[in-house]
A and B are shown apart, each in its own frame.
Chain A
């Protein structure tokens, strides 16, 4: 990371600390904003957040590793999260999974080389009556078929 980038990140975290307060309860909202904007929470960001909230960096690390929607590694601009829980599974999740893998030429857990898409499974996202379902960032797509899924992915390309 460049020094100027680091400086920018520090300023950003400081702003967030002002917005949410320099208290422990502010930790998750700050992490969520950094995650949303940068796609991940770097070690440097974790250190800086710890400094501003006056807690040990390992506390921040512990929280980042606990939650499925927070990541320590750079992720694609669009995170495709396919629901793997039973209702979506029985509704045909496997075929959707294979179709996306072929289309993006990556496996689940991987990111495309151009850093555009990351492919993940998630647990029940509450769309069981409309499965198979997936999230792309915060947007929900339901009643998927392989063909429909590819069209959706294409619209983000």
Chain B
């Protein structure tokens, strides 16, 4: 199934010439165009893409790498699957444009093992691109040499974190590295590397195709363009939607016909759980930030059951490298069990929330820094249901 309303940016027919256009520009001009557009990373972290590319372009090295992060593991996110499956050309052109912009010769798509069924299709597509001289040596007679290969993951959520992903590519356990140094200086095999989300590359191709100015007209201040959101849970029309930044939760719910919503989880398991009283809040980097996951829970759902599911997820997926994440998530899950049994005191609950805040500060990578989010937000926003009247 394609994107439900791909009318704003993703009407791909318009972007056929993005690559050709890009190769006529100087690499610096592409980076400047992306910077001017104000494109921020679509995977969830929201780092300015132009800044990342500029740092990689200015790094001095004999080799540079582009990595497309297709390890879409955040619960409730499936937009990258749709992009890779149905908008393949846009993604591949975006990666090639990224490679040209930082002057790399090689790219790797890190495809999650769960999407292995897309592997052959993607390989065939890359082969077609090579035959059409849109990949390989001297692309479209521009003198630019670039190729893309695909590497599969093996089922580890943490490998969506860029340094863990690089570790995995280098043949190690997917344990996050200390940052700095950042991958733009010391990335894959020690070479300058940009790691971007699938949607970020697609958006970059769109910006080159339509121009930074056009892009900045869409969305709201500081969050430009559109976002693909994957909507699931209790609604009549789940799927992937393209929405301009600044859309409110209320409008999203109307769009997918969710009439009975009690809570909306924005940003996946590691995101925030929003109650009805906050449904006027907006999807943007400044308010409700999301890598694409929006899950809707209706009035019949038990929020504690949902929280338990999230915490079990984090206990399993924590890589175990740093103790705030390894032990903290276990303690939070045990806390959920105590609440279920009616054995958790109010004092202990507050201690657990404090523990969550410590994990946000002290964990080494994004996993542990964000895994207490559902615990804190569900127990804050739904305290009455989950704790007080239980």
Residues in A lying within 8 Å of B, measured CB to CB: 23-29, 31-32, 62-63, 66-70, 84-87, 89-90, 122-131, 135, 138-140
Q: Does B55 contact A (CB under 8 A)?
A: no
**With A86-B310, A123-B317, A131-B232 given, is the CB distance from A63 to B173 under 8 Å?**
yes
Q: Among A67, A89, A126, point to the contact of B309 (Cβ < 8 A).
A: A89
Q: Among A29, A125, A139, point to the contact of B151 (Cβ < 8 A).
A: A29
Q: Which of A29, A86, A135 has the most CB of B within 10 A?
A: A86
Across the interface, do B238 and A129 meet the contact criterion of CB distance under 8 Å?
A: yes
Determine the chain B residues whose CB is within 8 A of the CB of A128 once the complex forms: 75-78, 230, 232-233, 238, 295
Residues in B lying within 8 Å of A, measured CB to CB: 72-78, 80-81, 112-117, 151-157, 168-174, 189, 230-234, 238-240, 265, 269, 295, 297, 301, 306, 309-310, 313, 316-317, 319
Determine the chain A residues whose CB is within 8 A of the CB of B156 once the complex forms: 66-68
Across the interface, do B114 and A126 meet the contact criterion of CB distance under 8 Å?
A: yes
Q: Which of B154, B269, B316 has the most CB of A within 10 A?
A: B154
**With A70-B154, A123-B316 given, is the CB distance from A138 to B116 under 8 Å?**
yes
Determine the chain B residues whose CB is within 8 A of the CB of A27 once the complex forms: 171
Determine the chain B residues whose CB is within 8 A of the CB of A84 once the complex forms: 309
User: Closest residue of chain B to A138, judged by CB?
Assistant: B116
Determine the chain B residues whose CB is within 8 A of the CB of A62 once the complex forms: 173
Q: Among A23, A29, A90, A138, point to the contact of B233 (Cβ < 8 A).
A: A90
Shortest CB-to-CB span from A93 to chain B, Å, is 10
Across the interface, do A25 and B169 meet the contact criterion of CB distance under 8 Å?
A: yes
Determine the chain B residues whose CB is within 8 A of the CB of A29 once the complex forms: 151-152
Q: Which DSSP category, helix, strand, loop or mixed, fits chain B's interface?
A: mixed
19 contacts between A and B (CB under 8 A): A25-B170, A28-B152, A28-B171, A29-B152, A66-B173, A67-B155, A68-B154, A68-B155, A70-B154, A85-B75, A87-B295, A90-B297, A124-B73, A124-B77, A126-B115, A128-B75, A129-B238, A130-B238, A140-B117
Task: Give Cα A131 to B174, complex, Å.
Answer: 28
Q: Which of A67, A89, A123 has the most CB of B within 10 A?
A: A123
Determine the chain B residues whose CB is within 8 A of the CB of A67 once the complex forms: 153-156, 174
Shortest CB-to-CB span from A63 to chain B, Å, is 6
Across the interface, do A63 and B172 meet the contact criterion of CB distance under 8 Å?
A: yes
Determine the chain B residues whose CB is within 8 A of the CB of A28 once the complex forms: 151-152, 154, 168-169, 171
Across the interface, do A69 and B232 meet the contact criterion of CB distance under 8 Å?
A: no
Across the interface, do B306 and A139 meet the contact criterion of CB distance under 8 Å?
A: no
Q: Among B189, B232, B239, point to the contact of A87 (Cβ < 8 A).
A: B232
**With A67-B154, A87-B295 given, is the CB distance from A129 to B232 under 8 Å?**
yes
Shortest CB-to-CB span from B269 to chain A, Å, is 8
Q: Among B189, B239, B309, point to the contact of A85 (Cβ < 8 A).
A: B309
Determine the chain B residues whose CB is within 8 A of the CB of A23 once the complex forms: 171
Determine the chain B residues whose CB is within 8 A of the CB of A138 once the complex forms: 116-117
Task: Give Cα A125 to B173, complex, Å.
Answer: 20
Q: Which of A27, A66, A135 has the most CB of B within 10 A?
A: A66
Across the interface, do B155 and A87 meet the contact criterion of CB distance under 8 Å?
A: no
Q: Among B157, B297, B301, point to the contact of A123 (Cβ < 8 A).
A: B157
Across the interface, do A86 and B117 meet the contact criterion of CB distance under 8 Å?
A: no
Across the interface, do B172 and A126 meet the contact criterion of CB distance under 8 Å?
A: no
Shortest CB-to-CB span from A124 to chain B, Å, is 4
Determine the chain B residues whose CB is within 8 A of the CB of A122 once the complex forms: 114, 155
Across the interface, do A86 and B75 meet the contact criterion of CB distance under 8 Å?
A: yes
Q: Among B117, B157, B170, B313, point to the contact of A139 (Cβ < 8 A).
A: B117
Determine the chain A residues whose CB is within 8 A of the CB of B154 once the complex forms: 28, 31-32, 67-70
Across the interface, do A123 and B75 meet the contact criterion of CB distance under 8 Å?
A: yes
Determine the chain B residues whose CB is within 8 A of the CB of A127 once the complex forms: 78
